[in-house]
Amino acid sequence: MKFFIDTADVGEIRELAQTGLVDGVTTNPSLIAKSGRPMAEVIREICEVVDGPVSAEVTATDFETMLKEGHYLAAIASNVAVKVPLTVDGLKTCKALSDEGTQVNVTLCFSAAQALLAAKAGATFVSPFVGRLDDIGADGMELIEDIVQIYGVYDFPTEVLVASVRGPNHVVQAAKMGAGVATLPPSVLRQMYNHPLTDKGLAAFLADWKKTGQSIL
């Protein structure tokens, strides 16, 4: 499973990229707004830090303007994946851009039917929002299972990019289901490698080693 980081904070991305665990980055207009910086500048800088796909989202809602924005964003760097919403105009834009060889991330997916349309339109990634479904009493992980099954039956190349991840359990469940990618807030990635028993065990090992009076170097 590939891990993308869901943030526009370049400092966070640089730090986490040093772990070797970051395969890409996803951004959206809200995250860009939090950065307080020009969008193109932020995306360009992220693309210099991360070799994998960096999702940059259009803000238009009509096909013609979405396509223009998509061309502009794709020209920022070769690893930009243009992010479009799962609407009719978004799917038209996805088809046009993917036919040109541009990576496209179709976002705000909340049903298996929508995911099927995204794959048919040539999406590189489809982003189902599991946390937001959980928030309204639905089962976000059930959606992931349905999409993975459908894509497997028809051998669609579109990758399931699990989004709106709220904790490590979402990631583990998605991995068990065969989802190809999860995009994580930095806090969730850190939660994945932190465990109190690891800390306790390390403290015990170090205490025992100190008693020996030895030094490896």
The catalytic position among 83, 120, 200, 211 is 83
In 19-92, at which residue ranges do the beta strands (DSSP E only) sit? 24-26, 54-57, 80-85
| Nearby residues of 171 by Cβ (< 8 Å), 6 or more positions away | 1, 162, 165, 182, 184, 188, 192
CA 179 – CA 1 distance, rounded (Å): 7
Structure tokens at 68: 């223009």
Angle in degrees, CA 126, 109, 1, rounded to 5: 40
Q: What b/e readout covers 159-192, taking b as 16+ CB neighbours within 10 angstroms?
A: bbbbbbbbebebbebbeebebbbbbbbbebbeee
- DSSP label of 129: B
Is residue 40 within 8 Å of 76, Cβ to Cβ? yes
What is the torsion angle, in degrees rounded to the nearest 10, for the CA atoms of residue 93, residue 97, residue 103 and residue 109? 10
| Nearby residues of 32 by Cβ (< 8 Å), 6 or more positions away | 8, 39, 42
- The verdict on whether 176 is a catalytic residue reads no
Q: Which residues are catalytic?
A: 83
